[in-house]
Chain A
């Protein structure tokens, strides 16, 4: 195995493109090093992108936020502007593992690891986040929900890697939230995750919403029917019941040690309701 720590994006892309065997990007390393340790992967090249300045910062602009691929999720929690604009995304990112993990792990890593249970991904998709991809043929930008194609697989082409995630500037009267359920309070894999992002009209009625679920299907699912169920409502009980039903209908989970199909499905509805209420409050609804 070789280790390289280039200082520019272009250099990194060239290294990955020219690798003779399997090349992996090292950002936080909290998944990569575990997989190396247990022997599921044997990289020929590891490219540490943390020496590239563009991967190292969170920047705020008129159009929103840009979070570099090397930024640990703990740093997202330390950024007040980001927390204020996208509290659900930050909460989700700060649910990944322990403090030790959060000081290393990144949302790009969480995304590219392509686990159906990745905590930050439902919140990112609900928020309409995009991935800034660099590769041998230059740059492209893709919606986050188009990145993961199945458990462990992504749509990134050989030599491509994600340099940053961008989040739009939330419109006025917007709020987001993410809740997940695990068999314990910390340090495990979600059995269900639910992300809700919504914008209210001036009358407190939901004008636009996005609802996502994690760990209940091979990839994170966007549930338009759930969004429709609450659009045009003030989250009355009937609307929440429809939201929960739509979420349950969208579930296609696995049965495993952590949770059965039934449990995951029903808890998905419970969490989506709870997350919708939090997002609604954050948007200024009562």
Chain B
């Protein structure tokens, strides 16, 4: 503990720089910011899941006190604003393009989910705007809604252009080889799985504050974004709000994202448009019910899974058929989540030689479904790790043993899977072994017996997951349908006095970039940790960026900073060589010192920085200044992996299920700040346990969200969760300069499968879906 503050380099558990402002109440989130003359926006939202918008009568509310304007989707369309795009294009197995339904920021003719905005009221106070919104009289022609995923393709088409509500029917893998594997199988294990719909629930609701400067014609938009540059690009290039150089997006402190703040939403877009239109700063902050209704939801898959095994329990083939709910429109990443971020992960940690997956992406009259922490990978892990556990039970093989027999061996890397990916490195046995020790696997039968003696049931469940992070490389991603590159930008700006300002295109909303990235740069440049400041989240200060999602920040954004820092060192060497009258090739740089090899001559980093900006004695052929940029485009994904084990105890009289122990051993490659990494894992596990036991986004058959508040949507609280026992093993990533892989999603990826495997182990049946509520568990205990 004591050496924490003295050692601030890579690998040190440095205390977070950003925390002081948060613990004193001086964090600055979007809703904490106010502009002089601001007015408040409240949205007009559809009360129906599907309806034609008729006449919108705003005459009475326009007369109300404090009301400035009421704008509708028709006004927006008249202004020529474009649709919100989906950033990935996916092809169906027959080669046709996916069918993307037009998604205007404000609906003008038809609404397609409850809560969809079709107008906005602007007023002096939020209360006045609310009152006026209630007074707007809109004629809706209600239409039959398509709500049930299972029958959506046989229901009436929601969008004219999308027959059978099918956006795409995508496939990956070798269908013939997989069929052949099943023909030769000694055992075939089949499982129907539901991956329940979840609602992200960042504790900070989305918010936006826009100002238009008539002198410069620049719009400044403060907003709760994980990726302000990407949002600016979309608002400019696709929506046509404003040219990119006249649009500044600032994502200040952001109170959690978990994927939900990646996307460009109608409200933020509308606020920016309205600010220019009414020539007033406009502020909007969602209330919690709006968050439930309109933040993109996650998961919502139905799958049929089949695993073929030989007589020895070797996996021969895996066949997966999944129906994925996309909601009413394609959100920004929606098309990729159940396809490239899902199907490619179905090899898991195993040598399954033949895999074929088919995914049907389907529209329904529900809020769009998009990436939520893990995004496709928790769904893939759930499929693989549930069927493996069931196979072990059906074949009477210890679940650990069955996994060991099929795991990719450490000497088999790089490993080409049958579903497109090449795993660069890993040691799955190492994390499994460590996790078994931590849970005391050998002691489980005694613990189970003790529970049974007390009238309880006990179960143990595993998940050996694989994850693909740091989405990359750009050329591959674009060839697969990505609309943008997947690099990251970084800038290391050395100030004349030797302190360093670091600019990253990655954004921090809890991940601790201000600390982790300062550690990386301080370590590389030998500059004191406290002399490094990290700037992020402002398109006016940071050149470009793709933002934070998919556990990519350190692997891609951190690597960009290493490259930029190395450029700074290279330039510093030229300056130092000149000052020391030495050959640049003879200059070494270490721990913040430029020195001439085999001599006692040296210059400090600060001296060189000063010379760069006060070039009294300076090389003739070198530009002054010491500031370097890099765009880092990775060679491959990174592949974190690990083993999660859950142990549960059940009270059969009430069905109450307690997670009594949870072990996670993850391989994230090199770790920059173990304390931050541990926290990331904890948070992910909590979300995964929440999904497995408590959380469920439910629409009724009319398309009304019936889990639209914290009383109806069960979030895990402090007394619902155990202590977590987390540890890491390390196989460094082979293709980035830090050897890092990413850690943000692993917890949420492994834990649902581990918990459900534990519950089904305790209950002795597979017939239970997430969330495993007390009543569902009770019914099974009663023998229903």
Contact = CB atoms under 8 A, between A and B. Distances in A.
Interface string A33-48: 0000011000000000
Nearest to B720: A184
Contacts of A238: none
A286 interface: no
Given A257-B698, A263-B778, A267-B654, A186 B773 contact: no
Given A189-B711, A267-B654, A183 B717 contact: no
B775 A263 contact: yes
A10 B664 CA distance: 63
A259 interface: yes
B137 to A, nearest CB: 17
B719 A185 contact: yes
Interface string B111-144: 0000000000000000000000010000000000
A188 B711 contact: yes
A209 B356 CA distance: 66
Contacts of B720: 184-185
Nearest to A98: B717
B34 interface: no
B234 interface: no
B713 to A, nearest CB: 10
Interface string A249-270: 0000000010110010011001
Contacts of B706: 257
Contacts of B774: 181, 183
Which of B134, B717, B719, B775 has the largest count of A CB atoms less than 10 A from its CB?
B775
A183 B654 contact: no
Contacts of A38: 289
A270 B714 contact: no
A181 B654 contact: yes
A19 B612 CA distance: 77
B433 interface: no
Interface string A172-187: 0000000001011111
Contacts of A259: 775
Nearest to A260: B775
B717 A184 contact: yes
A273 to B, nearest CB: 10
A122 B735 CA distance: 65
Nearest to A274: B653
B653 A184 contact: no
A100 B471 CA distance: 43
Nearest to A39: B134
Contacts of B84: none
Interface in A142-188: 181, 183-188
B242 to A, nearest CB: 35
Interface in B704-741: 706-707, 711-712, 714, 717, 719-720
Given A257-B698, A270-B654, A188 B714 contact: yes
Q: Chain B interface residue count: which class?
A: 20 to 34
A39 B775 CA distance: 32
Given A260-B775, A263-B778, A184 B694 contact: yes
B652 to A, nearest CB: 11
A257 B712 contact: yes
Contacts of A187: 717
Interface SS of B by simple majority: loop
Contacts of A189: 711
A230 to B, nearest CB: 20
B707 to A, nearest CB: 8
Contacts of A270: 653-654
A183 B656 CA distance: 8
Given A181-B654, A257-B706, A186 B719 contact: yes
A253 to B, nearest CB: 13
Contacts of A185: 719-720
A82 B706 CA distance: 40
A267 B717 CA distance: 24
A156 B491 CA distance: 70
Contacts of A257: 698, 706-707, 712
Interface string A184-210: 111111000000000000000000000
Nearest to B774: A183
Interface string A14-55: 000000000000000000000000110000000000000000
A270 B655 CA distance: 12
A38 B289 CA distance: 9
Contacts of B782: 266
Contacts of B779: 263
Contacts of B717: 184, 186-187
Contacts of B719: 185-186
A267 B779 CA distance: 12
Nearest to B782: A266
A151 B694 CA distance: 27
A186 B719 CA distance: 8
A171 B762 CA distance: 46
A160 to B, nearest CB: 29
B714 A184 contact: yes
Interface string B233-250: 000000000000000000
Contacts of B712: 257
A183 B657 CA distance: 10
Contacts of B778: 263, 267
A267 B134 CA distance: 42
A184 B714 CA distance: 8
Contacts of B773: 183
A187 B774 CA distance: 15
A259 to B, nearest CB: 6
B197 to A, nearest CB: 14
Contacts of B654: 181, 267, 270
B665 to A, nearest CB: 28
Contacts of A267: 654, 778
A185 B720 CA distance: 7
A39 B287 CA distance: 13
Nearest to B716: A184
A187 B719 CA distance: 10
Contacts of A186: 717, 719
B290 to A, nearest CB: 12
Nearest to A267: B654
Contact of A183 (B134, B289, B653, B714): B714
A189 B711 CA distance: 8
A186 B720 CA distance: 8
B749 to A, nearest CB: 24
Nearest to B287: A37
A260 B776 CA distance: 10
A260 B782 CA distance: 14
* Nearest 6 Cβ contacts at the A-B interface: A263-B775, A185-B719, A183-B774, A270-B653, A186-B719, A183-B773
11 contacts: A184-B720, A185-B720, A186-B719, A187-B717, A189-B711, A257-B707, A257-B712, A263-B775, A267-B654, A267-B778, A270-B653
Given A184-B694, A263-B775, A267-B654, 13 more contacts: A38-B289, A39-B134, A181-B654, A181-B774, A183-B694, A183-B773, A183-B775, A184-B714, A184-B717, A185-B719, A186-B717, A257-B698, A257-B706
